[in-house]
Amino acid sequence: MLFDTLAIFGVGLLGGSLGLAAKAKHVARRVIGVGRSVSRLQEAKLAGILDECTTDPIVGITRADLVIVCTPVDDIVRQIREIAPHCPHGCLITDVGSTKRDIVENLCGTASFVGSHPMAGSEKKGATYARADLFQNRVCIVTPHKNSEPASVRRIAQFWEALGSRVVEMSPEQHDRAVAYISHLPHAVAAALAGAVDPVHLAIAANGFKDTTRIAAAEPAIWEPIFRTNRDEVLAACDRFAEQFDTFRKLLAADDGAGLIHWLNEGKRVRDAVGS
């Protein structure tokens, strides 16, 4: 087994799925859940996600050799700063935050910390939707900092690989730029699309509308700090998108058939490269 005791901070969709996956893949012998709600932690324990649970962070990490922080992105630094001095010797810490530059900059003094971002979210919320296969065949980005020890980075990568993910290593800056286009911009666009529709039209909504707007159903309280901790990159991505969209509007206004086909082909070429 790669780890003996895994402590998960924040047992929602991601944290809960990590518990299930770590047990299903025999990556950790024991999974401890740490959270604020005793009843939700007990539910997760009953659901087989956790072996033990506690609301006390310091109790939660007592015997941990891996801590994964799955709290909202603007709470991760605080949480790790609180527990790092109390972690057992050799214990590694990672997180699943959707932005990395802010988190990694603030924690680069913590040698045991290596940032992660599994690209495995969902618009659903809560451990009820946890799945042991959530990380299977997904990308997990690992973002070391200048004080990260190569052995620790390797061990965190092995953890994600053991859950079935493909690990990609990036700098926090590269990560934040890439997810601005691949995740944050699409989220803003999906929400704008949903918000632009008069609800009277929803009766005829079909798969196209459902797919395009699906992620707009995600929890605003989770996404607000994601956008804010990646503001510069998201704003740049917004401008790039607005330019692209404006080209479409102008081509259509000019009734430029050949131009529209060319423009649509650009998007199709990119989308075709991604696969279903």
Q: What is the CA radius of gyration of the chain?
A: 21
Residues in the chain, total: 276
- List binders of a second copy among 98-127 (CB under 8 A): 119-122
How far CA 241 is from CA of 35, 152, 174, 192, in Å, comes to 38, 38, 19, 13
- 181 makes contact with a second copy (CB under 8 A): yes
Please identify, using beta-carbon distances, which residue of 38 and 182 lies nearer to a second copy.
Answer: 182
Please identify, using beta-carbon distances, which residue of 149 and 211 lies nearer to a second copy.
Answer: 211
Choose the binding region for a second copy from 38-46, 57-65, 146-154, 252-260 (rule: CB under 8 A): 252-260
- 241 makes contact with a second copy (CB under 8 A): yes
Please identify, using beta-carbon distances, which residue of 64 and 130 lies nearer to a second copy.
Answer: 130
- 11 makes contact with a second copy (CB under 8 A): no
CB of 79 to a second copy, least distance (A): 19
Give Cα 265 to chain centroid, integer Å: 30
- Residue count, binding to a second copy (CB under 8 A): 91
What single-letter amino acid sits at 263? Answer: W
Site string for a second copy, 159-178 (x = CB under 8 A): ---------x--------xx
**Per-residue tokens: 270:** 């990119």
CB of 141 to a second copy, least distance (A): 6
Helix axis angle for 231-253 and 185-196, nearest 10°, is 50
CB of 170 to a second copy, least distance (A): 8
- List binders of a second copy among 191-230 (CB under 8 A): 191-221, 223-225, 227-228
- 78 makes contact with a second copy (CB under 8 A): no
- 242 makes contact with a second copy (CB under 8 A): yes
Question: What is the Cα–Cα distance from 59 to 173, expressed in whole angstroms?
Answer: 34
Question: What is the Cα–Cα distance from 30 to 253, expressed in whole angstroms?
Answer: 61
CB of 216 to a second copy, least distance (A): 4
What single-letter amino acid sits at 163? Answer: L
Which candidate, 114, 103, 130, places its Cα nearest to that of 66? 114
Could you give the strand order of the β-sheet that contains 139-143, starting from the edge strand earlier in sequence?
Answer: 115-118, 139-143, 166-169
CB of 241 to a second copy, least distance (A): 4
